[in-house]
Amino acid sequence: MSSSSSDRRLQLALVAHDAKKDQMVEWALSHADQLQKSTLFATGTTAGRINASVPDLQVTGLKSGPLGGDQQLGAMICEGKLDGLFFFIDPLSPMPHDVDVKALSRLAIVYDLPFASSPSTADFILNGLFASKA
């Protein structure tokens, strides 16, 4: 028996570049009420930081982004296993794994997945995802 879309937990991915990890933790903390109603995945260090700082959330950690975590999330996008991608990107820092970042954003676009790259956009997308479940 399948559950209705309003009964299913949202599956969300959280990723942040090193210079944006504090911002991601702050955002997750300020949205903990909504996020705890979701199933959360994050690349390694981001998951560890959120789990340590936001005790109400349980984030499943994948590999670190440069070590394959971005590809793991990409596979989840292709398989239709995510409802949203929240990837706080630092446009002012060099990105040694820039190819992975581009691949993830490209997949989000190809599969029409809601994709936020900043906290203000993330606010709108998260509220929109929850509004569409109501």
Contact 16, 23 (CB under 8 A): yes
Contact 126, 84 (CB under 8 A): yes
Per residue in 59-71, pLDDT (tens digit) is 999 999 888 999 9
Of 18, 33, 70, 98, catalytic: 70
33 is catalytic: no
d(CA 32, CA 34) in angstroms, rounded, equals 5
**CATH topology for 10-133?**
Rossmann fold (3.40.50)
* pLDDT at residue 37 tops 60: yes
The whole-model pTM stands at 0.92
> For residue 65, is it left (φ>0), alpha (ψ between -120 and 50) or beta?
alpha
State residue 93's pLDDT score: 79
Least confident of 5-9, 49-53, 77-81, 109-113: 5-9
What are the boundaries of each domain within the chain?
10-133
Contact 43, 70 (CB under 8 A): yes
